[in-house]
Structure formats: C-alpha cells, structure tokens
Amino acid sequence: MGIMNDGLAGLYMALTVPVVSKFNATARITAVSSGINLAYGQVDGRLVIGETEMSLSPISCMYEFPFGDLIVGTGESLQVFRDGKEISSNSYETGIESISGKGEHAVAIDGLGRAHIIGATGKITPISEASVLFAKVGPQVAVATESGKVSTYSLDGEKVWERPMRGDVGERITAIGWNGSTLVVAREGHGLVPGDEEALEIEHWQSQQLIKRFDVNRRVVSIDGPWMGLDMGGIMHDEELVAELSHPAHIIIDRGEHALAGSWFHLHCVNREGLQWAVETQGMVEHVSTNGDGSAVLIAGSDQNDYTDPEPVVLIDSTAQPTSLIEEETAIDDRGEAPAIEIDADELYGDDTSLEELAGIEAASLSDSENLLDALNDEIEVETVEVQEEDLMLALSLDAEEIIAPLPDAGGDQSLKADEDGTAIVTLDASGTQDPQERVTSWSWVDSTGKEISDNPMVRVKLNKGNHRLELRIKDKDGRWASDSIDVRIE
C-alpha cells in the first residue's frame, strides 16, 4: 500500500475506519481517557465520566488505571474518581500540567515543573527534580528537565540513574520513552563552534549503559515503544522511516504491530509497511486515548477558531475493518459532462465579426491603419540591453557572493505574573533575528507539541500558569530551516 499524506489527497486508495460515536462538548476539550470508562474534561471544568457529569476547576489532563480509577489534573488539584465519585483530592497551588502513565503507575507534572509518582493505591511520591519537561512510566520512571538532564527513578521514587550530559551547553531533550526495558532518548545538540552542524540523535539506554546511538536528521517529538513521531512530519520504527506526513506527529501510541499517530486533523494507523488508514476530525488531534484492545479510541482537539462551536469528542474502533474513504461531492469535484453549446458555422467563420471583437478590443480604439498585432505590440515595451563582457563577469562575481544564513532569535526567556483568570499575555518577538541578505521566507512560532501558534515574526499569545517552551522557526530561500527557543514561566 502506498504512503498517504496528512491531506489524503492524490491517493488511488484512501482508507478510513468509521466513527462509532461523537460526544458534544460545551467548551474546549483538554483531556480524554478511554478505558473501563469513557471520560473527557473541558477547559471550563466540566468533567464527564460515562453517564456522570460534574463541575471542577479547569481540567488539564487525566489518566485511568487498569481497574477503572480515574486521575484528573486541574488548575488547582489532583483528584481521583471511582465509579463517577471523587475518592481523594490533593491541592496544588500551581495546578497540574500533565499526566502520563502505564499500568498501575502514573506520573504528574505540576505548574512549577515538579514530578509526582502516583500509585494505584493513591500514594503520591514527589521526585527530587526541578523544571521537568517530560516524564514517562516504564520499568522505572524516566524524567527529562529543561536543562537537558535525563534521570530514572524507581516506582517508589528513589533515584536510580542519571544520564551523562554531552557538553555543558547546547543540548536539549526533545522526547523520551520506553521500549520494553530500553530507555529511548531523543536529543538535539546545537553546534556551538563555526562549521559544526546541528545534531539530532536517538540514544538507547539499557541497564544504565548506552547500547545504541544514531542520527535521525529530523527532530523527534514523540516516542512510544519502537515508534517515533517527527517534528517535520513522519513516523519512524526504530531506525527506519516508515511514513511521511505533512505535519508534526506529536502523538504516538504503540499498539505492537502498528501505532496510532496524531498529526494535524488526522489520526493515522501506521505499520512497518506505511500508513494504513486515517480518520479526519473536526478539530486538530490534540488528545488521544485508547483502551487495552484498541476497540475504543477517543480523539479530541480544537480547530483553533474562536468563532465556531467546540469540536466534539470522537470515538472510533481502531480494530474495525478499514473502508474506502468517500469524499463529499462538490461543484469543484463534479466532473460531469458540461452542457453542449451550439454555434452556427456562419457565426464562427462569417465576416460580420471582426478579429478585434473576438479579441475583446473595441474597434473604436483602433485607427484604420492599426491591426490587432499593432495593438498588442503597443502594450509591450521592448528594450534592448547590450551586455558587455566586463559587466557579465561582474554579474557572475556578484552571484558568487558568500551567502549569509539567517540566524533566528526568539528573544530572552520570560517570567510573568498571571492575571486573576490564571493567564498572562506574552509577546513573542523575533525582531532580533539576523538576516542581512533578507533571505527569510517564512516564520513560525510553535509550542512544545509542535503545534503552530503564528506565522508572524511578532505575536501576542495568552498562556496559562506553568512553564512553556516556545520555538521560533525560520525558513530561508534555499528551503533550509533554523530554530531558536525560549522558556516562559507564568506564575
């Protein structure tokens, strides 16, 4: 089967699986969970667990243990629900930013970048790390910090190992994940010496030993099992690129022989042969959760349009038999026969209609001595330029002028106080970007998930409390990309 792109265009065979159900949202969906219960939460605090509905503070994330207890992170607390009823609650002044888990353990990151291990019994154990960006549960808990440090902790919260840093500066961790007992680390090393190139690498660590390292050439933004999602579009299985996408694959879920990947407005199913099917949703795929056998997959996300109603939560069965994608017919797509226009031979070849009239030129605008070619020639000014040999050599030498690549500058890190609603307005300013030859052709601000915020050099955005990594990307006339990032803390 051929590889298909995000737009599903130009395919001779586009496959999808049917949508089982849709659940109406009354505000932007911020979290979903698919397990024993189907649950979702909204930015306004509305929480739906099966048939039960309740109101909390703004919901940011959730995770369900295998036996059905649901952990919900909000702007104020970490709460646990069983059978639709709250059984415990722990307050966090800065709120909970994210929760990830596997089996009977989960790890939550609060608004100050501190990680907390949550056991199935409800026990919460803090981890002694600051400014945590990512945390993943496997045989141990792995955490990566803003400074580029990667460490592992036992499920009881005891530190086990710390990855040796490669250089004091210029390194950033873009994603971490577990493939069985192997810790997979995606790193980005910035060349700090003239002539050095940016390094984008994957490291495999097992029993605290580096067993493999390889270049990926593109930034990895999601890891689960042997599967990796790429920032510039694409899915990798270990070292092999198996599918190309047009947008970042910021969500990847390992399903054994295949994976589910969220990218732009599509959830894709991919195996080692390439993309198998895709489901298009009304909103961007920002949140995905699946039950154990993949028969219930919840998908949610916003279309980023403030003037439309909130997009629904979509339920699909990823194990269903794929069917051909049926596109709606439109006037543009309608290739039916056009009605025949009858024309008399005298009208076509007769002498009554002048060449000027056929060309759409009023006869009165042309004198008797003019013809159509004269009229067309009058519209074209031809200037003969004599190129001397010396001028030609000068032009060639100018063409050979050294190209100065633009250098992006996202500005300095920022720290702001939140307003009463828990948000702050942040100005992103790329005016410090060095571009002496005016080679920049496009600008892009993206968040830590790879989602584009704006394509303008300067933009004002509203951010919630917590730590945010924002990245400026520029592309030059030769199609080369360069990036710079800043950290923004909203307190």
Q: Are residues 240 and 378 in the same domain?
A: no
- Judge contact between 201 and 181, C-beta under 8 A: no
CA distance 142 to 153: 6
Q: Are residues 386 and 430 in the same domain?
A: no
- Please tell me the predicted confidence (pLDDT) of residue 461: 87
Q: Are residues 421 and 291 in the same domain?
A: no
- Please tell me the predicted confidence (pLDDT) of residue 388: 54
Per residue of the chain (491 residues), give pLDDT as tens: 334 444 443 333 589 999 999 999 999 999 999 999 999 999 999 999 999 999 999 999 999 999 999 999 999 999 999 999 999 999 999 999 999 999 999 999 999 999 999 999 999 999 999 999 999 999 999 999 998 999 999 999 999 999 998 865 568 899 999 999 999 999 988 654 444 456 899 999 999 999 999 999 889 999 999 999 999 889 999 999 999 998 999 999 999 999 999 999 999 999 999 999 999 999 999 999 999 999 999 999 998 777 778 999 999 999 999 999 754 443 333 334 444 444 454 554 455 555 445 444 444 444 444 454 454 444 444 444 454 555 555 555 555 567 888 888 998 889 888 888 888 888 898 988 988 888 898 888 888 877 788 888 888 888 888 888 888 988 888 778 888 889 898 88
Amino acid at 151: S
Cβ-proximal residues to 381 (8 Å cutoff; 6+ apart), any chain = none
DSSP helix, strand, coil percent of the chain (3-state; round to 5): 5, 45, 50
CA distance 328 to 313: 22
Q: Are residues 281 and 418 in the same domain?
A: no
Length of the chain, in residues: 491
Identify the CATH number of the domain in which residue 418 sits: 2.60.40.10
Q: Phi and psi (nearest 5°) for 255?
A: -120, 25
Q: Are residues 227 and 91 in the same domain?
A: yes
Has this prediction a pTM greater than 0.85? Answer: no
Q: Are residues 431 and 392 in the same domain?
A: no
Q: Does 341 reside within a domain?
A: no
Question: What angle (nearest 5°) sits at the alpha carbon of residue 212, between those of residues 210 and 216?
Answer: 125
Q: Are residues 213 and 121 in the same domain?
A: yes
Domain tally, the chain? 3
CA distance 190 to 169: 9
Identify the CATH number of the domain in which residue 208 sits: 2.130.10.10
- Judge contact between 451 and 250, C-beta under 8 A: yes
Q: Are residues 244 and 363 in the same domain?
A: no
CA distance 121 to 328: 50
Question: What angle (nearest 5°) sits at the alpha carbon of residue 22, between those of residues 35 and 55?
Answer: 70
What residue spans of 360-454 are helical by DSSP H? 372-378, 389-399
Dihedral (CA of 257, 325, 451, 245) sign: positive
Q: Does 404 reside within a domain?
A: no
Among residues 324, 340, 364, the one where a domain terminates is 324
- How many CB atoms within 10 Å of residue 333? 8
- Please tell me the predicted confidence (pLDDT) of residue 346: 54
> Where in 92-206 does DSSP place strands (E)?
96-102, 105-110, 115-119, 124-126, 132-137, 141-145, 150-153, 159-162, 171-179, 182-189, 199-206
Q: Does 405 reside within a domain?
A: no
- Please tell me the predicted confidence (pLDDT) of residue 160: 97
Q: Does 345 reside within a domain?
A: no
Q: Does 12 reside within a domain?
A: no
Provide the edge-to-edge strand list for the sheet that holds 251-254: 251-254, 258-263, 266-271, 274-280
Q: Are residues 390 and 449 in the same domain?
A: no
Q: Are residues 86 and 233 in the same domain?
A: yes
DSSP state of 147: T
Q: Are residues 291 and 229 in the same domain?
A: yes
- How many CB atoms within 10 Å of residue 84? 16
Range of the domain at 361: 350-398
Among residues 364, 398, 432, the one where a domain terminates is 398
- Please tell me the predicted confidence (pLDDT) of residue 11: 38
CA distance 135 to 120: 17
Q: Does 317 reside within a domain?
A: yes
CA distance 346 to 4: 52
* 94: three-class secondary structure by DSSP: coil
